[in-house]
Amino acid sequence: MSIIRTENLERYYQQGSEKIHALRDVTIQIKKGDFAVLAGPSGSGKTTLLNMIGALDKPTSGKVWLDGKEITSLSRREQSRLRRDRIGFVFQFYNLIPVLTAYENTEFVMLLQGIPFGERRRKAMDLLRKVGLENLEKRKPHELSGGQQQRVAIARALASDPAIILADEPTANLDSHTEAGLLDLMEDLNRDMGTTFLFSSHDPDVIKRARRLIRLHDGEVVSDEKISTEFSVRSPESRVQSPE
């Protein structure tokens, strides 16, 4: 079953009389349960493609479907609702609300959805436990390490039970030890909860975890391959419950 399908996506920017292509005729499918990586050098179109899939930007031409629903023709309000309810985002710079605690950041989407307090609290605390932060729920972002902030971002992304989580260079600002623990966590969520992940990255440590690898160059898909159905082999010590 395809969670995401794109058809002939084009995105270009006009620079004087010249068209600068960010995406060229991109047609891909992301299936339920994928742990997929968009790989390529800077400027290859990875983030632009994530923005199209996440309804953060509209293509010049072409279409995107989410769960069988075409989303590129939706109004801004409809796309905003779609992002709130069906897509989880994990960004390079965390994008947490600085005045809110880890718990409050996690529950924020559910608050916008109008979910009752008791249900919000149970779910937010369960998600923080799943990401290894059950004792840090009262801390604000400035009181957390980079790895801990990114774990809050993952908990927040999961709060709406999204069809897919889009992660744009999610480990770029982390040291290798923290990065490994965060990738372990996302693999565990993918395996145990069936969460579908689509990353953008040029980091070899992220790319080697991919079980589906889509390579881009100059806005075009140059390869799309299934790497493995197996999860990476890790020693118990590699699982980091709450990175410093």
- CATH code, 2-238: 3.40.50.300
Q: What is the mean pLDDT of residues 99-106?
A: 98
Tell me the percentage of the chain whose pLDDT exceeds 70.
93
pLDDT at 238: 45
- Residue-range domain boundaries for the chain: 2-238
- pLDDT-derived band at 243 (thresholds 50, 70, 90) equals very low
- pLDDT-derived band at 1 (thresholds 50, 70, 90) equals confident
Tell me the percentage of the chain whose pLDDT exceeds 90.
80
CA distances from 39 to 61, 80, 140, 214 (A): 23, 27, 33, 6
Q: What is the mean pLDDT of residues 106-118?
A: 96
Q: For the chain, state the CA radius of gyration.
A: 18
Q: Which residues pair with 36 in a beta bridge?
A: 198, 212
pLDDT at 237: 45
pLDDT at 240: 44
122: which DSSP letter?
Answer: H
Number of Cβ atoms within 10 Å of the Cβ of 117: 10
Most confident stretch, 138-142, 172-176, 188-192: 138-142
Q: CA–CA separation, 30 vs 196, rounded Å? A: 9
pLDDT at 229: 60
Q: What is the mean pLDDT of residues 170-184?
A: 91
Q: What is the mean pLDDT of residues 66-91?
A: 94
Residue 239 has pLDDT above 80, yes or no: no
Q: What is the mean pLDDT of residues 130-153?
A: 95
pLDDT in tens, 132-141: 998 999 999 9
Which stretches does DSSP call E strand in 16-143? 18-26, 29-31, 35-39, 61-66, 69-70, 87-90
Number of Cβ atoms within 10 Å of the Cβ of 151: 31
Its pTM stands at 0.90
pLDDT at 231: 63
Residue 11 has pLDDT above 90, yes or no: yes
Task: Show the tokens assigned to 200.
Answer: 């953008």
Mean of pLDDT over the chain:
91
Whether residue 241 contacts residue 148, with contact meaning beta carbons closer than 8 Å, is answered with no
Residues in the chain: 244
pLDDT at 230: 67
pLDDT at 122: 97
CA angle 61, 166, 91 (to 5 degrees): 110
Residue 241 has pLDDT above 70, yes or no: no
Residue 75 has pLDDT above 80, yes or no: yes
Q: What is the mean pLDDT of residues 69-93?
A: 94
